[in-house]
A and B are shown apart, each in its own frame.
Chain A
Amino acid sequence: MSDEKKTLTLAAMPPDLRKVYDLPLQALLVSGCAPSLVLWEQTAFQNSWGVAPL
């Protein structure tokens, strides 16, 4: 990869410039990562207990 192209990847960005792009990307990634964790927690005990007897 040429030097010119390298600057387009996040890791290769100068720290100041990277900070600008970091935040939206991380917001997106953390927002994407957290639901799977919550969904796991929410479904962990599923169907082990039914509805209470009526």
Chain B
Amino acid sequence: MTANGWLQILFFFALILVVTKPLGVFMAHVFNREKTFLDPVLRPVERLIYKLTGVDEKREMRWTEYAVAMLLFSAVSMLVLYLIQRLQGHLPFNPQHLAGVDSSGSSTGSFVGSAFNTAASFTTNTNWQSYVPETTMSYLTQMAGLAYHNFTSAAVGIALAIAFIRGIARREMQTIGNFWVDTVRAMLWVLLPFCIVGALLLVSQGVVQNLKPYDTAQLVEAQSVEVDKKDADGNVINKVDGQPVKETQTITTQTIAQGPVASQEAIKMWGTNGGGFFNANSAHPFENPTPFSNLLQMFAIFAVSAGLTYTLGRLTGSQKHGWAVFAAMAALFVGGVVVAYWAEARGNPLLAGANQTVSATQSGGNMEGKEVRFGIANSALFATATTDASCGAVNAMHDSFTPLGGLVPLANIMLSETIFGGVGAGMYGILIYVVLAVFIAGLMVGRTPEYLGKKIESYDVKMAMLVALVFPLVILTFTAIAIVEPNFGTSQLNNVGPHGLSEILYAYTSGAGNNGSAFAGISANTYWYNTTIGITMLVGRFFMIIPMLAIAGNLARKKIVPPSLGTFPVTTPLFSTLLVSVIVIVGALTFFPALSLGPIVEHLLMNAGKTF
């Protein structure tokens, strides 16, 4: 570890701290329909949208109607994305003439459920990608299909967080806002302006932005590669033992993929989506070319979620509570980044012969799978931030991290979007745990738990527990099936032993946590993985949202109870500590056995000289 590395991590965190209040105040104004500096431009656009779509912006919804509107909107837009993918071969903006996803001409091969997986993935703000974007998706699919969902899934997340906050803040009311209005305002005020500025900033750093066909570059030196031999129809020729016949091919050119990257990159980070324009995601020099673009991307991952903690304080009239929630998130974030940075800077003792010492020419530590322009500190920081916030973009390959370094991203996602979390999703994610924390505090002193003057009763706790139980249920069930099934489960792994388990566990955790980052090392573009991870993502999103909205609706109806001596204050460091403890204990009780069999045992075996 170096002083320079720590300084960069501190600088990043200071930046987030600085924008939390202004962004929080801005969002409070937006969702309270108070005046903002963007109103002269955006208000007419907003009014036009309501006019075109017949939305009455004054009409409020009960939680059930809010939930149905959200589900319908998600279902319709998921279907639209599915159709765009399947039909992209017949649609415009396709200079590479890429065939429809899941058709025989596509790089996904014949039908493997890839289009369903991707539609579920982008609708749920997961952005898990089982396909290679630059060889699979046309520019239209990337822009009107994928980037569109980057905007709307993020806007829906913010809308839901605001609805939950209203539920806490309101007293004796039946409604929690209007889904259409909240979504449109999130999109117009919170997402679009930053993305326009962010895209321009990224372009200034060298991120490409065009609609040209791919370029071909001549290699300086011809390369020989071994490839599978194919017959005239393009089918792989197999030997008697089933292994493919190999042939040597000389490569003299390289295809330079490009496209409307900067505009997609901005919302990919600001909306904590994380689905890359290219397969290498933010490690690709056209997506994330410089240390500054890297800082900008990490900033974009956390900014809205951090700001929402201030909005929470503003709208509930308890600014200290907002900061207490921020402090809990920040403590969990710092814990993760310290472990990840330490583990990666410490290096891998089994990488014999590689120079792992810090010097003028070496980053030091485990640089396998990392970009030299980012080094250890910025790779560890990015990995922590992207998994805390359910973003899922990567600038280094998590599969190549040391076992403990790789445990951090995995554990972050397992804590269920509570550490800043996805835009909006992080806020309602942690508020579920706030309900559990005040319930536990109430049990300790033998009083009815209260949260900001609202009595937390059995219905609220049941709903919160539903969220806490469904999440591990779907992850552990599918992981258990995949790890014992040699035909469709373990056959897709590139690594055996505990590392193989980590790869499968990570895939389902990433799906359920709506993160979307991959541990890689697993070929997930199969019918089994596409379908089950697709289902996992839908369950992870909507089975969390519906109980959360139920709590919001129930809280909105309640009376305010004046605080008494027995009221547990939710504004103190003690509350933040309790909240962190509840999150860690629930996460540890649920996932520790699986983590012991995966990264923890792998770490012990690495020290014993064994690698996988």
A residues whose Cβ falls under 8 Å from a Cβ of B: 10, 19, 22-31, 33-35, 37-39, 41-52, 54
Contacts and interface: CB of A to CB of B under 8 A. Distances in A.
B281 interface: no
Contacts, number: 109
Contact of A54 (B200, B217, B262, B264): B217
B434 interface: no
Contact of A51 (B49, B180, B200, B208): B208
A30 B72 CA distance: 11
B209 A39 contact: no
Interface in B46-76: 49, 52-55, 65, 68-69, 72-73, 75-76
Contact of B256 (A28, A33, A44, A54): A54
A42 B208 contact: no
B448 interface: no
Given A43-B143, A46-B210, A54-B256, A34 B148 contact: yes
B196 interface: yes
B211 A28 contact: no
Top 7 nearest A-B pairs (CB, nearest first) are A29-B53, A27-B72, A42-B143, A38-B148, A31-B76, A27-B73, A42-B263
14 contacts: A24-B72, A26-B55, A26-B180, A27-B76, A34-B152, A35-B148, A38-B143, A38-B151, A41-B192, A42-B147, A42-B264, A44-B196, A49-B209, A50-B210
A24 B74 CA distance: 11
Interface residues of B, number: 46
Contacts of B210: 46-47, 49-51
B69 A26 contact: yes
Contacts of A29: 52-54
B180 A38 contact: no
A30 B262 contact: no
A23 B203 CA distance: 39
Interface string B270-287: 000000000000000010
Nearest to A50: B210
Nearest to A36: B144
Given A27-B75, A49-B208, A39 B143 contact: yes
B293 interface: no
B54 A38 contact: no
Given A34-B152, A47-B210, A52-B286, A19 B73 contact: no
A4 to B, nearest CB: 22
A25 to B, nearest CB: 7
Interface of B: 49, 52-55, 65, 68-69, 72-73, 75-77, 80, 143-144, 147-148, 151-152, 180, 183-184, 187, 192, 195-196, 199-200, 203, 206, 208-212, 215, 217, 256, 258, 260, 262-264, 286, 289
A47 B211 contact: yes
A43 B73 contact: no
Given A10-B54, A44-B263, A31 B256 contact: no
Contact of A49 (B77, B151, B203, B289): B203
Nearest to A29: B53
Given A28-B76, A38-B148, A38-B151, A45 B203 contact: yes
A26 B258 CA distance: 36
Given A38-B148, A44-B196, A25 B212 contact: no
A48 B210 CA distance: 8
Q: Count chain A CB atoms within 10 A of each CB in B53, B144, B151 and give the residue with the most.
A: B53
A38 B211 contact: no
Contacts of B54: 10, 22, 25-26, 29
Contacts of A34: 77, 148, 151-152, 187
Contact of A38 (B65, B69, B144, B256): B144
Contacts of A19: 65
A54 B107 CA distance: 26
B53 A26 contact: yes
A30 B195 CA distance: 20
A16 B567 CA distance: 41
Contacts of B256: 51, 54
B147 A38 contact: yes
Nearest to B151: A38
A51 B215 contact: yes
A38 to B, nearest CB: 4
B98 to A, nearest CB: 18
Given A35-B144, A39-B143, A51-B208, 20 more contacts: A27-B72, A29-B52, A29-B53, A30-B183, A31-B76, A34-B77, A35-B80, A35-B148, A37-B192, A38-B143, A38-B147, A38-B148, A39-B144, A41-B192, A42-B147, A43-B263, A46-B210, A47-B210, A51-B215, A52-B206
Contacts of B52: 29, 33
A49 B143 CA distance: 17
A3 B518 CA distance: 59
A26 to B, nearest CB: 6
Contacts of A43: 143, 211, 260, 263
Contacts of B262: 45
Contacts of B187: 34, 37
A37 B263 CA distance: 13
B245 to A, nearest CB: 35
A46 B264 CA distance: 12
A23 B69 contact: yes
A54 to B, nearest CB: 6
B258 A51 contact: yes
Contacts of B184: 30
Contacts of A50: 208, 210, 212
A50 B215 CA distance: 11
A32 to B, nearest CB: 8
B209 A48 contact: yes
A28 to B, nearest CB: 6
A34 B77 CA distance: 10
